[in-house]
Structure 1
């Protein structure tokens, strides 16, 4: 199962290539924000992350509610977070 997980933008690491560091439940990874180039996120913005891409900007309330709901999935959430932790975009 692949889930979209809310993450908070920590920094825009490479604006020219639309790359940003995101924090998902304490796990920090570099992701692509290219799909949001018309509404670029900034540090402290929340985004919905799926397979290394920010799919949409979301507000903090929605992000926290979604994280709480996803955490209730138990193993599916843990598996998704482990996959996120072990992934990288080159």
Structure 2
């Protein structure tokens, strides 16, 4: 089954980004909103095989790749901070 590797990247980078904010709610709903917004603004990388996983890991090492992912996560955090929607 195909998997969007960007989900793994966002899950990996998000905790470090969140450490920079003291005013962000870290409830499950807010975290899921941040992930969804970030993923909607990042190009998906679907993998179905070990070769695909290796290619994705190689891309992950690129500083530009990481910077872009972090930028989109930060933008998502800013959106959620301004629009908290607890249920």
Shorter-chain TM-score tier: 0.3 to 0.5
Q: Give the alignment's TM-score, normalised by structure 2.
A: 0.36
Highest RCO, 1 vs 2 (Cα 8 Å, sep ≥ 6) = 2
User: Which structure has the greater CA radius of gyration?
Assistant: 2
Q: Give the alignment's TM-score, normalised by structure 1.
A: 0.36
Instruction: Flag the structure with higher helix content.
Output: 2
